[in-house]
Structure 1
Amino acid sequence: MTLPHWMSAERFRKTWQFLAVTVLALLVSLGSERLGWLQDYENIYYDYWHQISGQRREAQHAAVIAVDDDTLLQYKDDPLAFWQPIFAVAMQNLTDAGVKSIGLDFIYAVSAEAWLRKLNLPDSEVSRNYDAPFRGQLAQGKAILIAQLVETSQGDMEVMGPPQEHLLMMPNGAFDTGIANLYPDNDKLVRTFYPVVIPDKQFPGVGFAMQLVLRATGGDTLGDGWSFAGENYPRQRERRRIGYVGPPGSMLTISMSKLLQADALNDPDVKKLKGRSVIIAPNNIGTSDRHFSPYSRVLPGHSAEPMIGGEIHANAIETILSGIYPRNLSLWAAWPALVLVLVVAVALYLRLHPASGLGVGVGLSLLVLVPAYALFQKDLLLSVAPFHLALATAYLGTLALRLTGEERQRAHLKSMFGQYVSDVVVDKLIAEGQRPNLSGEKLEVSVLFSDIRNFTTISEKLDAEEVVEMLNAYFGLTCEPILEHGGMVNKFIGDAVMAVFGSPVHYDDHARRALLAAQGMAREAEKFKTWMKQRFPDRGLPEFGIGIGVHSGPAVMGDIGSVKRREFTAIGDTVNAASRLEGVTKELGCVVVASAASIKAAGEGIRTGRREVIHVKGKAESIEVFEVLFD
């Protein structure tokens, strides 16, 4: 395949790496979301948003009448199974207070009258008409009783509903009941409800909350579907999110004991019930009708208290009549946002070190939470899980590319140049996609040669081990400025050092880097004088000193040598001239000498001293040179 003229092979490789990682992350993320694999993770943030938000709004359409401890104490001598007359008083006062529908969240398998008959007691007015007030309330048509779907030991589903005596008194019989089962998610938290549990019209399968809404609004329980607050509810079994108004206790809740007072209708709290659908539900210390909600997930500083079933049903009523509940953000908004974040992440992953890339991934993952929470305040859900999975997949993808590709190349380059250049140079080679042309290429470079003065005399007065010790100590110091300024320590020739600037990494300012390195080497040599005096006192050694020559110009860079011994080095007239300039320092009596070509290319800021025009061995033309000063 022929590449466009503007695209190098390296750029083509990086482009394909970028596209491959991005597409892979998108496929993994969106595919996992579509398959439902991310829902449990998504629920964590969904719950946290609820807990952090606290109470979100005031309920306008529903309320709870709590059979609480005060109510139980008021009628402590009456078994709860025989409370029908007590419920009848409360229901009548609710009707008089102007409520639109009443739900009784208690289930009786048998009526009190039927139970009394089983005892074979003498016939009396009480045994015949004990439930009469309650039956009268049912006959008014405002009440909805609950039914429960239960699974038998054989695995069959059966309905446990009110006693037949009570159903006969209701205008629509069993169709005036609502199925009150709550269906938690895998983690046992209730986030959704079923408006219709059993779609078959032949079966009373409408949910408890929906039945109360239909009774309050005059809707037909046998209809094919309904519409409330702009939302359609077809007669189908489908989950709907509950738009919770707040944590447990946020729903308007009134103790039933207040409804049993003689002046109940004058109570300000009772007056608030007008126009609402209410649920009479247990909320006492002994009730087991408590369920975990999004507010139950443990978060530091927040309560994990469960919510009573009646309040969950009331929140479902509020959801239906208000039309307010968390809705998924449009895919046209969510997916472009995911792509944008992923593009930024992959671009940075491919450019940065893995540790820095990990920081970017974590930072972007946290950043996504900000708009997600802000949108939740407007009842819009930005799914966090696809972002997090996409960022993690992209990071692992780029890490795999590094381990299988770039890190292998880095190891190769490190083996070639690691002892001659700094890690920064190797990283730059990889980051910029630069690869030295080992077969040879002509480049503009700056070459530096350094030599120790009077080395022959020094070596004659020291043992062989001491000479090696001295050279190792000296080279350790003098090579640091070369590496610091991006140069390549090309070779050691006895006591001499050859360095190249501008290859294998190209720098436009290679001459300036070479001169700055030369100044640094000269300063290190001054410090090394002290080391020599302390290490070899009274040995009659000449004062330690060095000479440095720098020249800039074209040179051939390549892998040169025999089959058994090769090295990446520079050859050509520029190298020879730099070597000669190092020797000129002895004649001129200075430490650093640079050609006019290097001084001019370095630009302003390099302090120079004497200027000379000299002839060097091997060159026909004279060379203009300058003494380079250092502090």
Structure 2
Amino acid sequence: MHKSIRIVLASCAVIGASCLGLHFCAGADELYRDVFHRLAGARAPASHVVLLTVDDATLAQYPDTPLAFFSPLFARAAQTAIDAGAKVIALDFMLGISAEQWLAEHESPKAGDFDQPIRALIGQESLLLPALKQADRLQLPATAYTIAVPDFDLAHHLGRVDLPADGDGIVRRIPLVWHDEAEGSPVLSMPLLLALRYSNQQAKAKNWHLGGQVIDRSSSPQRIAWLGPPGTVPQIAMHRLLAKQALQDPQVLALKGKALVLGGAYTGMQDWHLTPYGMGMGHALMSGPEILAQSAEMLLSGRRLMTSSIYWQYLSLLLIALSLLYGFILLNHKWLLPTGILILLLPIAVAYLAFLQDLLWPVFPVQIAIASAMLAAILLKLNRAARKQRYLTELFGRFVSPAIVKQMAESDTMPVMGGERVVATVLFCDIRSFTSLSELLKPEDVVELLNAWFERACAIAWQYGGTVDKLIGDAMMVEFGTPLRHLDHAHRAVAAGLALEAAAHEMSAWVDQRFPAHSFSDFAIGVGLHTGPLVIGNIGSSLKTDYTAIGDTVNVAARLEGLGKTLGCVVVASHETVQAVAGIVTGDATTLLVKGRAEPVVVYAVHGLGMASNKEQEHEMDSR
């Protein structure tokens, strides 16, 4: 498959995964945002709303009074707050039974007008009553209280205190208007009703202006812009407003111009909820009254958690996914995984910084886009590496060892196949007196002998990183330093030549054992080495090409291997090769005139490599 087609398919896969992540996994971002809330702590002050709490200290001052009989105390505290300048009070206690009626039924002399003070506040629209849906039934205060509502308009004087949680049990949103109730039933949330009454707006209007924002009756549940963890909203205990000199209390006087939520905060109360600031047992829960207070403050201050449009999110994901895919493709495979992991953390930091500015930015879908791009890039690179491995194996598998092919495949560059000029060392090796030897053996025995020798010789050439260019009759041509570049190519060639000399001695014993009926002289070879520039590449015609080397260096090396008889050695090397190898042990030298070459070639007999050179060779072989 063409490379561009593979990239297009990978791009489509990454885009598809990113869009699916945005569509199906956006809810997972709530987990990140919960953590952001806890990291950020308190976000904004409550400048409009105060909590008026029935706490343990308040209950302790009235130990013999059940909460069901607290309506006169609620009325006194609320009246004190109004006298101090509070604008409106929302009651978050469900007065399901009338203490006055209960006393009358029991013929108590205290019945009288027991609930009259609280009814007066309700009639003055200073006290908002709660409504709550439980078990599919809308629960309202007792009739003794609702009859005090002006014009009996429950829909606009009772606020819903329902706090529906998300699927994981955490309260993150609050409905402002309920749409599933019968006409005339309370449908406005208590925070909205409290904010409207505070800002002197009619609850019957079609839409409202609060904190610079427009809210209409069709509004969907509002994500709560939390002020901070539990305890962020200022609180004042109800017993302070019940004190004799309450209007001289600075905290009471500070209620001027405020909206109050009167609710519980005592031990054993059931109205506690999980919010982004609490994650279960042992963590801070938030009281229902404070959730209502924080929601009302959000409406009055105009602070909102903003979300970018879904189209902008899709476009951003598209750009992010494609940019990362092409970036990962260009990145070196060694850095792909660690870079991808670091980039996976980046959306969290970006989203947190955006969160501090009240902007909600998706994290998990972006991470899916990053992971998809990384996976696609890895698969493309693996596919490309596999194709490169096959290509190089097909091209060089018969020239070099599998280890060299692997190194070439792992290299960032491909060999130039049209003909490349390099400096390398060429080794020529042939079998001495091979013509006489072949005359004594049958043709099939000659083939067996050549195969046995070349099996050993090629293995040695590969061991030292050589490229077996060709086998011509009994001769072998090997290049060192190409196609895989080795700076020590001359050293490798000399070491390989000496190893071939040792292998020839072992081969001599094999020949004597294999062909005992014939009396041969020792199996002997000649090796010639020369270092210099040459051209390497695919050379031939449109019908037949071969990967080979040509040039003066090849010609000289071919001539040198026959000089071993003259110098009384097996391995001979040119002056250029000898100078490139540290620690080489040489013997006699001679000068050779090569046909077509103006300058003579100085040639040395090679007898070995020094100790330092051997250590370098071992180190080099280990590193390979």
* TM-score of the superposed pair, with normalisation by structure 1: 0.75
1:106-153 Cα offsets, whole Å, 9 max, x none, are 112221122234xx43363x213111122122222121111112334x
Number of equivalent positions = 561
Corresponding residue number in structure 2 for 1:583: 561
After TM superposition, the structure 1 = structure 2 runs for residues 163-562 of structure 1, keeping only pairs within 5 Å, are 163-171=142-150, 173=152, 174=154, 175-198=156-179, 202-297=184-279, 304-329=283-308, 338-339=317-318, 341-352=320-331, 356-402=335-381, 406-407=385-386, 409-411=388-390, 413-414=392-393, 417=396, 419-420=401-402, 421-428=404-411, 434=414, 442-445=419-422, 448-450=425-427, 478-479=464-465, 488=467, 490=469, 498-499=478-479, 501=481, 503=483, 513=485, 516-519=488-491, 522=494, 548-555=529-536, 557=538
Distance 1:568 1:317 in 2: 84
* Structure with larger Rg: 2
- Structure 1 residue 16: Cα displacement: 4.3
CA distance in 2, matches of 1:359, 1:559: 45
Distance 2:215 2:103 in 1: 43
Q: 1:135 corresponds to which residue?
A: 119
Residue 268 of structure 1 deviates from its aligned partner by 3.1
8 A contact 2:393–2:405 mirrored in 1: no
Query: For residues 260 and 272 of structure 2, what CA distance do their matches in structure 1 show?
Result: 18
C-alpha distance 453-336 of structure 1, shift in aligned 2 (>3 A):
same
Q: Give the distance between the partners of 2:296 and 2:288, measured in 1 at CA.
A: 13
Aligned to 2:442: none
Q: Following the alignment from structure 1 to structure 2, what is the Cα–Cα distance between the partners of residues 558 and 257?
A: 102
1:30 equivalent in alignment to 2:19: yes
C-alpha distance in structure 2 between counterparts of 1:195 and 1:238, whole Å:
7
**How far does the alpha carbon of each residue in 1:431-452 deviate from its partner, in whole angstroms, 9 at most, with x for none?**
55x5887xxx555455533368
Write out aligned runs for 1:32-181 (5 A).
32-33=21-22, 35=23, 37-117=24-104, 120-122=105-107, 124=109, 126-152=110-136, 158-171=137-150, 173=152, 174=154, 175-181=156-162
Q: Give 1:292 shift.
A: 1.0
Contact in 2 for aligned 1:243/1:318 (Cα 8 Å): no
Question: SS in structure 2 opposite 1:129?
Answer: coil
Alpha carbons of structure 1 residues 415 and 73: separation in structure 2 relative to 1, 3 Å: farther
Deviation string 1:487-512 (CA, Å, 9 cap, x unpaired) is x4657899967136554x7xxxxxxx
| CA–CA distance in structure 2, aligned partners of residues 392 and 237 of structure 1 | 36
- Cα distance in 2 for partners of 1:497, 1:230 equals 87
| SS of residue paired to 1:269 | helix
What is the one-letter code of the residue matched to 2:489? A
More displaced stretch, 410-419 vs 172-181: 410-419
* Shift of residue 340, structure 1, vs aligned partner: 5.1
Gaps of 5+ in 1: 1-9, 153-157, 457-466, 483-487, 506-512, 531-540, 561-565, 603-608
Q: In 2 relative to 1, CA 342–594 (structure 1 residues): closer, same or farther, beyond 3 Å?
A: farther
One-letter code of the match for 1:47?
D
Contact 1:492 1:498 in 2 (8 A): no
Counterpart code for 1:478 = Y
Please list every run of 5 or more consecutive structure 2 residues that lacks an aligned counterpart in the other structure. 434-452, 503-521, 581-585, 614-624
Residues 527-547 of structure 1: per-residue CA shift (max 9 Å, x gap): 9999xxxxxxxxxx9xxx986
Offset at residue 20 of structure 1 (A): 3.6
User: In structure 2, how many angstroms separate the alpha carbons of the residues matched to 1:409 and 1:489?
Assistant: 20
Asked if structure 2 preserves the Cα contact closer than 8 Å seen for 1:549 and 1:583, the reply is: no
Structure 1 residue 396: deviation in Å? 2.7
- Contact 2:172–2:275, Cα closer than 8 Å, also in 1: yes
- Tell me if structure 1 keeps the 8 A contact 2:428–2:558: no
Counterpart residue type for residue 72 of structure 1: L
Question: In 2, distance between residues paired with 1:594 and 1:423?
Answer: 33
1:446–1:500 contact (8 Å) kept in structure 2: no
Report sequence identity in percent.
25
The residue aligned with 2:518 is none
Partners in 2 of 1:303 and 1:351 — Cα distance?
Answer: 49
Q: Residues 442, 414 of structure 1: CA spacing in aligned structure 2 closer, same or farther, 3 A cutoff?
A: closer
